[in-house]
Structure 1
Amino acid sequence: MNYKQLGRSKALDFFSWAGFQMGFRFDDCVVEYMADFLGRRKLFDDMKCLLLTVSSHKGRVSCRAVSICIRFLGRQGRIREALCTFEEMESKFGCKPDNLVYNNVLYVLCKKESSGHLIDFALAVFRRIESPDTYSYGNILVGLCKFGRFETAIEVFGDMCKSGVVPTRSAVNALIGELCSFSAKEGAVGKVRVRNSCRNFTILVPKVGGNSDAIQPAVGIFWAVYKVGLLPSTFAIIQLLSGLCQLGKVEEAVEILKAVEGKKLSCVGEGYCIVMKALCSHGHVEITSHMFGRMLSQGMKPKLAVYNSIICMLCKLGNLDDAGSVFKMMNKNRCLPDSMTYSALIHAYGGAKNWEASYGLLIEMLGLGYSPHFHTYRLVDKILRENGQMDTCLKLERKLETQMLQKLCKDGQLEAAHEKLKSMIGKGFHPPAYVRHSFENAFRRYGKLKIAQELLRTTSETDRT
């Protein structure tokens, strides 16, 4: 074990000399150490030769030494050699495999083998284990999920629970994650056979929702491991919450979120965002209100998506007072609204024929630099005209045109900016000084200052007239 002082060559020479002196009848720890020593240096031929030499001299080869060889060979993708070592260990080394050997073989077959052709062999190896342990179950479950054998994986998980073995966290993550992914894929498209044609053919059509048959086992697995004090990774939990919400099973998602919430995981905030959006999209006002209050009471800062979902839901239901309160709370909590927030409120107040609120929100929206959708602007313009607010209509149009001009200048769209300013002049709209300055700077950057100055001169002459 002093190879760091001896060097690799001298360490190997000393081992060979000692082996011939002692007939290679070493203690197990020495053979195991040398197998690990050779495996780490990728001397795989020497590693196998070590086992054969010790065995041929009537020395003892332990299961641990064989398992070390299998693991190192598997890590380097030498799957066939690892399996050959496993199959020959009784005949060549006189060593009966134990759980450590089986677990390393399953590790190679399930985690390192990528084709999937040997998954049935892995399952057969697993069935040979008299008392599978946590790692036995963990490896086979990961392999079955990896290669899409979900029904068998669920069956193995059930057997594991009956035997009282707690699964590894990686196995739970694989089970829940792959089942959720399968559910999402199953819900994406479906095959439909068309027969009312000269030639039968199959087309793919989108499905609504997903495959609830795949998500339910994932939910069962979550609760089973939760009862024994084990939680999946944050990524797997988010996948599970997203899958349930996509299928409309929001109540189940809420229960899982409440269970996870007490563990103070980093996924709680994102989980609330997913669940709140789903609750709002399904119009569950009472549960949404309860969950929103729960967020605030625990000191969470709701994200913009949560506020938008609540405001949009309340606006659709015509509850403008509560929508306005949530909007004020949003500003108070320093969560900056976006164009979706303003659009929802403007359309809601517009539907209620409240021109003052709609106009005020649109002006505020423009002030933040957001460009309203054409239908949003037309709605406010229509309400203003119906209420005889012609001056306000002109003011709104002027502000919108000015913002569009400024945006074109900022994006470097000179031709469009030039046409926009000409159109504004034709309507009698004259941009303020800061917009003219932006217009000049945009044209100056591209060496076209004279064109900008000529048009601005026309504006100045019109102002004097």
Structure 2
Amino acid sequence: MLLLRRFNRVRITSPCSVRLLSVKPISSVDDEKQLRCQDQSTVCEALSCYSNDWQKALEFFNWVEKESGFRHTTETFNRMIDILGKYFEFETCWALINRMIGNPESLPNHVTFRIVFKRYVTAHLVQEAIDAYHKLDDFNLRDETSFYNLVDALCEHKHVVEAEELCFGKNVIGHGFSVSNTKIHNLILRGWSKLGWWGKCKEYWDKMDTEGVAKDLFSYSIYMDIMCKSGKPWKAVKLYKEMKSRRIKLDVVAYNTVIRAIGASQGVEFSIRVFREMRERGCEPNVATHNTIIKLLCEDGRMRDAYRMLDEMPKKGCQPDSITYMCLFSRLEKPSEILSLFGRMIRSGVRPKMDTYVMLMRKFERWGFLQPVLYVWKTMKESGDTPDSAAYNAVIDALIQKGMLDMAREYEEEMIERGLSPRRRPELVEKSLDETLVCR
């Protein structure tokens, strides 16, 4: 009996299926550890199915502990806290953190509070994130790593002004360690990049030189990315040459940025040359590297070459991901080709992200095809993925386009039941008013 189906029959209706929690006899300590890891992975996978529905996720989280005898670990707690934080259920997050204390297998760690910082800052609750940092003395985690995690969360989610104030302003947190290092400056430089304030990025880049901050591989990688995003890829290529002259050994992240920059400024053939150079220098391309080349090939109209690289990826030990397929989907113009590639994606074991489902439904909707929209929706549900607002809106718009207002209204009501806010659609509102007048 499948774990999640068993739960669904008891409490919830959902087609998602995952592996069984282990019921094999344990013959040694090593076997026990291995089975615990498998069970932990199974629970995390099941929680991911409910990442867009925190109530079902929490219900499953409590059920699997109570009914299946599973002992939650730090990792499963962290996964649940992340889902709750996504929906601003911070009181429940802290209740779970308090549950974690006292069990050596589920003690809060740096990842726990990195998630808390991220979710607070995403909700623009900056002071709450700072207050959470101050509470870390209670968990023996108020240290340099946690401070970096806090600054990183602020910079990642467009609160770099507050991050800079924390590090160098008048009200500096009493952290007891130096922040005048390259790592902190790199985080803040990336923060200005997230805001898209290119002039401020240039100013900060020059300031690092003025203040004698040593620039490392990550500094150059961040600034090359800034040059690409600000529409100056040729300057990123110039920085790449500067790195080579300084004998800075590039890693896969830096090479990925260079490949993108050269592709934008000089074309995909030059990117492929750097791709080959990368391998020759002993830096193995990752999935992001292949995705960048595939995207450039697609943009250049070289779909056969893009498919050839897709075929070669597994042979070279690099499995495609959902972004790989999205690069191809974005350029395909025939529904039959898209559905064929979508089927290949599912069969190969690549799980589409919600963005993938939405992208395909929107594409079919623009072309006026309803059946492919419903097919993608059905596949999403059968895969156990909980639709978000964008997915619901895509299928509702497709139904309205075909005049199927009753079915569109059913999906809208389902959205509301799940606590999601549908867009106001005149077609559905007007129909409701007409029905009200007839009833009177």
State the TM bucket, normalised to the shorter chain.
0.3 to 0.5
Bigger radius of gyration among the two: 1
Higher relative contact order (CA 8 A, sep 6+): 2
Q: TM-score, normalised by structure 1?
A: 0.37
